Amino acid sequence: MKRVITISSIIVLSLLLLGGVNPTQGAETCPHGNGWVKIDGLTGCEYTFQIPLGCQVTAYCYKAATYCSGPVPVDPPAEGQFRLVLNPCPHDLSHASFLVVCPTATPEPTPTATEPPEPTPTATTIPTIEKLEGFYTEGMVNGENMLKDLQVLTCSNSCSVQEVTELLTYQRDSWIVVQDNRILYSHSGRFTNSPWDYEFGEVLRQLYLKDSLTDALIYLTDTKCLQVVDAVVGEYTDRSISSFELFPEANTNDFILVVCFEPTNSKSSERLFILLRMKD
């Protein structure tokens, strides 16, 4: 059973009224050991924890910047996956801990010498997001060659709005895409009056307007291809929107590309969100 926890001021207030543990401002770290599994090096505003088979998550803790939530109960306990989403998200996650409780196994009868040994349990692995950083010179979109080379940039850590804006500087000879974990950013529209000099996001926006975006293929190399699974238009304010609210069918290793939906309207907060999946 999947559990999605969206952290907001309303939820925190509810926990306090119900007798939950008070969040701790400025605490150093979340707990580790004695059943707590601590995940370091997080970025972004969400994280999905894969719960070992047969076990449950009964509490969680997260830290973003100097704020540490302290242990927060999960009632009822979660099984399968536990999805933690900060909404709103003033600061990116730095780490999180999950209290994993597994039932005590019933003792097996003492095996005889002829019985084979019990198999070693397989360790639970947490999926990682592929880094797309690089310079792609032979890319294609829906079978047509890209008009410019495509350069994917990443931040040294989790991207701030200022860093994304600085990295998305117009380049005459290449398109720029900025990767922040599983979120990709690109410009739409155009920066010059040249008819061919439009941005990478504009190619996809035009396909969306023609109802031709779903299932479109973006070839970066002969062995690396992204397929458009879905696309929606929504409001985007202060990076507070949850990707799993936009795309409930999204996998944990999918990408979401964000481009302006009205590039000529500087006051518009509408964005085109495109769900991308790496094609085998």
pLDDT, tens only, 153-198: 988 777 888 888 888 888 888 999 998 888 899 999 888 888 778 8
* Nearest-angstrom CA–CA distance, 138 and 145: 7
- Give the highest mean pLDDT range of 36-40, 140-144, 247-251: 36-40
| Dihedral sign for Cα atoms in the order 133, 167, 39, 277 | negative
Within 8 A by CB and 6+ apart from 261, the residues are 188, 205, 233, 268, 270, 271, 272
pLDDT at 74 over 50: yes
> pTM of the prediction?
0.54
So what's the pLDDT on residue 11? 32
DSSP assignment string, 77-123: EE-SEEEEEESS-SS-EEEEEEEEE-PPPPPPPPPPTTSPPPPPPPP
pLDDT at 18 over 70: no
Mean pLDDT of 47-60: 94
pLDDT band at 13 (very low <50, low <70, confident <90, very high): very low
So what's the pLDDT on residue 48? 94
3-class DSSP assignment, residue 15: helix
pLDDT in tens, 212-260: 999 999 999 988 999 999 999 988 765 556 666 788 888 888 999 999 9
Within 8 A by CB and 6+ apart from 274, the residues are 204, 208, 213, 228, 230, 231, 256, 257, 258, 259
pLDDT in tens, 83-116: 999 888 888 999 999 999 998 766 666 666 667 7
So what's the pLDDT on residue 124? 59
Within 8 A by CB and 6+ apart from 224, the residues are 132, 278
The pair phi, psi for residue 19, each rounded to 5°, is: 90, 20
pLDDT at 14 over 60: no
Mean pLDDT of 259-274: 87
* Nearest-angstrom CA–CA distance, 102 and 95: 22
Mean pLDDT of 32-52: 93
* Nearest-angstrom CA–CA distance, 73 and 169: 44
So what's the pLDDT on residue 162? 85
3-class DSSP assignment, residue 65: coil
* Nearest-angstrom CA–CA distance, 3 and 5: 6
| Dihedral sign for Cα atoms in the order 194, 196, 199, 205 | positive
* Nearest-angstrom CA–CA distance, 70 and 60: 8
pLDDT band at 79 (very low <50, low <70, confident <90, very high): very high
Mean pLDDT of the chain: 82
So what's the pLDDT on residue 107? 66
Within 8 A by CB and 6+ apart from 133, the residues are 152, 153, 154, 179
